[in-house]
Structure 1
Amino acid sequence: MIDGHKVTCWTPFGRENTVSILVKYMERDVKRGIVDEYLIYMNTDDDQVSDRAYGYALAEQHEWIRIIERPERHPGPKQRSTGYFYRYATDPGTIFVRFDDDVVYVHDDAVENLVRKKIEMGYSKAIFPIIWNNALVSWYLQQSGVVPKEWGEVGPYCMDPMGWANGPFAVKMHEKLIGHIEAGTVESCFMYQDFPIKIGEQFSVSCFASAGKDYAALETPGVLVPDEEENFHTVHWPRVTGQPNILIGNAVVSHFSFFPQRPFLDASGVLERYRSLSKELEP
């Protein structure tokens, strides 16, 4: 717990290959007393037998991991089903920290700093970390001088062609962060302040902290309207409430890939470098 609040991390689950890295960071933070539980929200297809078996095996191995099966399959793309998770996120004393299932690095202080900032800034909706390989964050990082513009300039748009779709740019980003992780200098990637995100600015939701009490206060508790998770959190909710999302400068997580980048990243070897780093964490 942090300041009397339960801390629940959760992942819309589909891929063993990357969750097997992420879970090492969850285990670290559980053992440090920062995270109380980790929820695996099953969002899989019927043919993902091996992935599902892996998720259930994790829950059997660790008492702090719990499986939640999605209550229904959205008639649209599978990703639309992630919005149903918030029906289970209405405990008013809990801060929820969401991680995509391809987040492959979590800085030592990331979860604690996200949670403390959400408690402190109760008027905000979602608190975002520096999500490495997130187009809008990459724009902020370039404005702050952390990421070189010589690699290609990123625009302030969540699906910017450079920051979202350019594979060679993503490889450079990951190689830079991995170098800092290996050198113990990730703090040099922090930004000098927190930034309120423009109201209604769409933002890729690979990781953020939010409060159970806010979902409990919805017209139907836990039911997002509109039900698409990213649109609800980054466009609709801030516009309706006038309450901003906040990007904080002292928390870093790494998001592996958007699909246009994937062929370049798969060929680069950076995922296995992240895997090796996760294995070096204290058992």
Structure 2
Amino acid sequence: MIDGHRVVAWTPYGRERTVSLLAKYMERDVRRGIIDEYRLFMNTDANQERDRAYAHELAEQHPWVTIQHRPEGVDLGHLPKQRYTGLAYRAMVDPDTVYVRLDDDVVYLHEDAVENLVRARLDMPAPTAVFPIIVNNAIVSHFLQLCGKIPTEWGEVKQYCMDPNGWANGPFAVKLHELLLSHIEAGTVEDLYLYQDFPIAPGTQFSVSCFASLGSMYAGLDAGPGVLVPDEEESWHTIHRPLATGAPNILRGNALVSHFSFFPQHAFLNGSDLLDRYRELADKAVA
């Protein structure tokens, strides 16, 4: 718990390959009393037997890991599985809980990331979402360049979630991860912190690889507890809800995580040794 609030981290779950890293950071932060529960919202295809088995093995091994399924009686039709993640919020309505969403390919969390993000979330109740510095997120890369943390010689990144360099450029993503890993190895990750928090203007789409939100917000929604309208979670959290409230989302300057890959970057990142290097770090987190 943090300041009397439960902290539930959760992941739209699909891949053992990367969640096996993320789970190590969850274990670290559970041991430290920062995270109370890690929830896997099952969002796999029919042929992912091994991935589903891993999720259940994780829940059997650790009492703080829970499995969440799509709510019964809700059918969105023949939509890609990514569209189902908005249903997860129907079980996130405890008004005394802070929920921390983590993509299933978040592969590194700085030791202060969750605590700093949750404290910022509690200090700023108005935003729909409070985001950490997410390495490999186009808008975050824009602000990191603005603050001189990423060389513009690598390619300029505009404040747009699908910027050609920040979202689709594989070699750019490789350089970002190598930059972060060099700071981790040198013990200087805090050098990548931003000088301030940055507001994200209402209506600005933002890739939601990681953010903190309040159960009290979901509990009070007009359509019902945890019912997002529209049901697509990224649009709701970064476009529709901020426009409705007039409150900008916030990019927090002193919490940092790493998101591995967007699909246009897969070929470049999968051909590197980066995930192996991240795996070694995750293993050390619980050593």
**TM-score (norm: length of structure 1):** 0.99
**Percent of counterpart pairs with the same letter?**
64
1:89 aligns with 2:92: yes
1:263 equivalent in alignment to 2:267: yes
Q: Spell out, residue by residue over 1:178-211, the C-alpha distance to the aligned partner (whole angstroms, 9 max, x if none).
A: 1111111100000010011111100000000000
Aligned to 2:232: 228
- Divergent runs of 4+, >6 A: none
In the aligned structure 1, how far is the partner of 2:179 from the partner of 2:239?
A: 31
In structure 1, the partner of 2:45 is 45
Q: Give SS of 1:280's match.
A: helix
Alpha-carbon offset, residue 46 of structure 1: 1.1
Which of 101, 106, 121 is the equivalent residue of 1:103? Answer: 106
Residue 12 of structure 2 aligns with which residue?
Answer: 12
Structure 1 residue runs without a partner (length 5+): none
CA contact (8 A) 2:27 2:286 kept: no
Separation in structure 2 between the aligned mates of residue 104 and residue 131 of structure 1, nearest angstrom: 11
Contact 1:200–1:234 (CA under 8 A) maintained in structure 2: yes
Query: Is residue 2:215 matched to residue 1:215?
Result: no
Aligned residues: 283
Report deviation, 1:216: 0.4
C-alpha distance in structure 2 between counterparts of 1:218 and 1:155, whole Å: 33
Corresponding position: 1:133 with 2:139: no
- Distance in 1 of aligned mates of 2:76 and 2:247: 28
Structure 2 residue aligned with 1:254: 258
Aligned counterparts, 1:174-193, within 5 A = 174-193=177-196
1:97–1:208: 8 Å Cα contact kept in structure 2?
Answer: yes
Aligned alpha-carbon RMSD (Å)? 0.8
SS at match of 1:38: strand
User: Quick one: distance in 1 between partners of 2:265 and 2:113?
Assistant: 25
Distance in 1, Cα, partners of 2:102 & 2:229: 21
CA distance in structure 1 between the aligned counterparts of 2:45 and 2:19, rounded to whole angstroms: 16
| Helix, strand or coil at the partner of 1:193 | coil
State whether structure 2 residue 130 is matched by structure 1 residue 116: no
Tell me which amino acid in the other structure corresponds to 1:28. Answer: R
- What is the deviation of 1:73? 5.4
CA separation in 2, counterparts of 1:134 and 1:48?
Answer: 27
Structure 1 residue aligned with 2:76: 74
**Aligned partners of 1:266 and 1:243: how far apart in 2?**
38
Distance 2:43 2:84 in 1: 7
Cα 1:73–1:207 shift into 2, 3 Å: farther
1:243-283 alpha-carbon deviations (Å, 9 max, x no partner): 22100100000000000000000111101110011111134
Give the aligned residue type for 2:240: H
Partner of 1:172: 175
Displacement of 1:221 in angstroms is 1.0
Secondary structure of the corresponding residue to residue 39 of structure 2: strand
